[in-house]
Structure 1
């Protein structure tokens, strides 16, 4: 996408996110947009909405299916996009809105990479440590099992990494021996 495209997306995203924060609906809107994002990813709906062979009426019809959402702000955003003939921008606006909400609230999904799954107790003990070390609030935890780590874990959130895995430690030793 070119600069003009990003500028158009920003024209919709910035006021939408500002309104979400003013109305203190960031939690509900974030959950709803995340669910819609999953649907878009599973069905490749963004490709359908941006396809030049699909007429405006069909795009509007599909996008209106998401207006059954509980959040009035999301419904209004969809209506504005349809009224302006910008249905194809819904997915990029959705992604940008999610990023902006995370940044404004400083709440992020944390991904924990480990050899084995963590218990609820272990996760509960990790949350305050993650928040302190990374300087953020944990919105949710997603686990990713990775046998190549050998032991320990790696935590990623907001482009930050805490890596205590044995794999990384062995790699560091190998580098020192060179």
Structure 2
């Protein structure tokens, strides 16, 4: 994405987040945006939206078929992106809108990569650690399993990382030798 496109995505997302930041249902909107993002990923719709061989009208029609939000604000955001001829930026716009909501509320998803699933007790300890270290609230914990870590975990929250993986620790030892 070039600087002009990045600025457009930021404009759409920031405008949306400002409009909805005081709504009681803001987290329901956030969840519906997550569902739309999943639909775009699962259906591989973004390939079509990025294709130079598909017309803007066809892209708009495809997006309108998957747009299923019960919130008019989300539908308006999507319609603005389509109307302005930027359907190819829809996925990035929705992802950035989620990030803007999180920033406004200082409440983020914590993405945890580990070898084994975390217990509820481990999740709660991790939640407290992240909230204390990064001075924010953890809305939810999203887990991903990856056995190449050998052990430990990597947490990413709002572009900040805690890397407590065995692989990382071994690399540190290797560098010191």
TM-score using structure 2 length: 0.82
Which residue does the alignment assign to 1:35?
35
Looking at structure 2, the residues matched to 171 and 55 of structure 1 have their Cα atoms a distance apart, in angstroms, of 49
Which residue does the alignment assign to 2:138?
138
Q: 1:125 to 1:79 in 2, by over 3 A?
A: same
Report how many aligned residue pairs link the two structures. Answer: 177
TM-score using structure 1 length: 0.82
CA offset digits 1:72-115 (Å, max 9, x no partner): 21111223334334333322221221222222222222122323
CA offset digits 1:7-58 (Å, max 9, x no partner): 3333322211110213344312221111111221222212312333323332
Which residue does the alignment assign to 1:13?
13
Q: Which runs of 5+ in 1 are unaligned?
A: none
Which residue does the alignment assign to 1:106?
106
Q: 1:70 to 1:145 in 2, by over 3 A?
A: same
Give 4+ residue runs of structure 1 displaced > 6 Å after superposition.
none
Contact 2:39–2:66 (CA under 8 A) maintained in structure 1: no
3-state SS of 2:116 partner: coil
Q: How does 1:46-125 map to 2 (within 5 A)?
A: 46-125=46-125
3-state SS of 1:162 partner: strand
Contact 2:46–2:88 (CA under 8 A) maintained in structure 1: yes
Q: CA deviation at 1:116?
A: 1.8
Q: CA deviation at 1:118?
A: 1.5
Looking at structure 2, the residues matched to 77 and 165 of structure 1 have their Cα atoms a distance apart, in angstroms, of 39
Q: 1:131 to 1:49 in 2, by over 3 A?
A: same
Contact 1:108–1:138 (CA under 8 A) maintained in structure 2: yes
3-state SS of 2:53 partner: coil
Q: 1:146 to 1:82 in 2, by over 3 A?
A: closer
Contact 2:112–2:141 (CA under 8 A) maintained in structure 1: yes
The alignment's C-alpha RMSD in Å is 2.4
Structure of higher CA gyration radius: 1
